[in-house]
Amino acid sequence: MATHGTLELFLAFGFNSVDLATYYVYESNNLTNYIYSTDSTIITNLTWFTTKSLTIFSNGNIDGTTQWVARIVEDHAANCYDPMSSNLGYAYSQQINQTIRATSTGSCTFTIVVSVQLTNGNYHSILDIINVNYKGDSNVRAIMGYQNNDSKLELFEFTEQTAMRWNKIIVYGNLVSFIIPRNGTLKVSYQSASYTPKLSPVFQEYGSGIFMSINYPDGDDVVNELGIELSLTCTMGYASYNITIIYADIPSNTSLQVSNGNIILDEFDQNVTFLSKVYYTDQYLSIQFVDSPSYIDQRFWDGFLIRYEAVHMEKPTTKSTNFVWLIILCSVIVFILMIAAIVYLIYRMKHREKYFEQLYDTLKDMHLSKDDIEALRTKSDEFLIDEKLLHIYFNNPLGQGSTSSVYKGHLEGTSPLHRVMKSIGTQCFVDCDVAVKVPGNFGQNEVQNLFQEIKAIKKIEYHNNV
Ligand SMILES: *[C@@H]1O[C@H](CO)[C@@H](O)[C@H](O)[C@H]1NC(C)=O
Ligand SMILES: *[C@@H]1O[C@H](CO)[C@@H](O)[C@H](O)[C@H]1NC(C)=O
Ligand SMILES: *[C@@H]1O[C@H](CO)[C@@H](O)[C@H](O)[C@H]1NC(C)=O
Ligand SMILES: *[C@@H]1O[C@H](CO)[C@@H](O)[C@H](O)[C@H]1NC(C)=O
Ligand SMILES: *[C@@H]1O[C@H](CO)[C@@H](O)[C@H](O)[C@H]1NC(C)=O
Ligand SMILES: *[C@@H]1O[C@H](CO)[C@@H](O)[C@H](O)[C@H]1NC(C)=O
Ligand SMILES: *[C@@H]1O[C@H](CO)[C@@H](O)[C@H](O)[C@H]1NC(C)=O
Ligand SMILES: *[C@@H]1O[C@H](CO)[C@@H](O)[C@H](O)[C@H]1NC(C)=O
- How would DSSP label each residue in 338-361? HHHHHHHHHHHHHHHHHHHHHHHH
Pairing between strand 430-439 and 22-26? Answer: unpaired
Nearest bound ligand to the CA of residue 92 = 2
178 pLDDT band, cuts 50/70/90, is very high
The alpha carbon of 257 and the centre of ligand 7 are apart by a number of angstroms equal to 18
Q: Which of 66-70, 117-121, 350-354, 409-413 has the highest mean pLDDT?
A: 66-70
CA 219-201-113 angle, 5° bins: 50
User: Are 204 and 163 in contact, with CB atoms under 8 Å apart?
Assistant: no
Neighbouring residues of 167: CB distance < 8 A, sequence distance ≥ 6 = 129, 130, 131, 132, 209
Element (H, E) at 76: helix 73-76
What DSSP state is assigned to residue 181? Answer: P
Nearest bound ligand to the CA of residue 250 = 7
Max CA distance (Å), the chain:
143
Orientation angle between helical segments 444-459 and 316-365, nearest 10 degrees: 10
Give, in order, the Cα–Cα distances in Å from 462 to each of 75, 214, 300, 375.
Answer: 114, 110, 113, 23
- Does 148 contact ligand 5 (Cβ within 6 A)? no
What DSSP state is assigned to residue 5? Answer: S
Q: Which atom of ligand 5 is nearest to the CA of 147?
A: 5
267 pLDDT band, cuts 50/70/90, is very high
The amino acid sitting at 408 is K
**Average per-residue pLDDT for the chain:** 80
Nearest bound ligand to the CA of residue 278 = 6
465 pLDDT band, cuts 50/70/90, is very low
Ligand 4: which residue has its CA nearest to atom 8? Answer: 104
The dihedrals phi and psi of 345, each to the nearest 5 degrees, come to: -65, -45
Which region among 71-85, 245-259, 304-318, 368-382 has the lowest average model confidence (pLDDT)? 368-382
Cα separation, 181 vs 101, in Å, equals 9
Give, in order, the Cα–Cα distances in Å from 107 to each of 52, 88, 426.
Answer: 25, 15, 99
Give strand pairing partners of 56. 25
Q: Which atom of ligand 4 is nearest to the CA of 104?
A: 1
- Does 240 contact ligand 6 (Cβ within 6 A)? no
The alpha carbon of 97 and the centre of ligand 3 are apart by a number of angstroms equal to 6
- Does 33 contact ligand 1 (Cβ within 6 A)? no
- Does 90 contact ligand 8 (Cβ within 6 A)? no
Residues 377-385 have a mean pLDDT of: 56
Nearest bound ligand to the CA of residue 42 = 2
Which of 381, 386, 360 lies closest to 371 in space, CA to CA? Answer: 360
Ligand 5: which residue has its CA nearest to atom 7? Answer: 149
Specify the pTM: 0.70
Cα separation, 219 vs 284, in Å, equals 30
Pairing between strand 55-58 and 66-72? Answer: unpaired
Which region among 3-12, 94-103, 373-382 has the lowest average model confidence (pLDDT)? 373-382
- Does 240 contact ligand 1 (Cβ within 6 A)? no
Residue 378: its pLDDT value, please? 60
Residues 375-388 have a mean pLDDT of: 59
The dihedrals phi and psi of 114, each to the nearest 5 degrees, come to: -110, 130
Burial letters 79-93, b for 16+ CB under 10 A, else e: bbeebeeebbbbbbe
Q: Which atom of ligand 4 is nearest to the CA of 137?
A: 14
User: Are 403 and 449 in contact, with CB atoms under 8 Å apart?
Assistant: yes
Ligand 1: which residue has its CA nearest to atom 14? Answer: 30
Q: Which of 199-208, 294-303, 335-344 has the highest mean pLDDT?
A: 199-208
Give the dihedral of Cα atoms 324, 326, 328, 332; nearest 10 deg: 180
User: Are 362 and 454 in contact, with CB atoms under 8 Å apart?
Assistant: yes
Which residue among 246, 268, 271 is best mutated to probe the pocket of ligand 7, counting the most ligand atoms within 8 A of its Cβ? 271
The alpha carbon of 129 and the centre of ligand 3 are apart by a number of angstroms equal to 13
466 pLDDT band, cuts 50/70/90, is very low
Which residue among 218, 220, 249, 305 is best mutated to probe the pocket of ligand 7, counting the most ligand atoms within 8 A of its Cβ? 249
Which of 389, 394, 397 lies closest to 418 in space, CA to CA? Answer: 389
Which residue among 46, 129, 167, 189 is best mutated to probe the pocket of ligand 3, counting the most ligand atoms within 8 A of its Cβ? 189
Annotated binding site for ATP: 422
The alpha carbon of 45 and the centre of ligand 2 are apart by a number of angstroms equal to 6
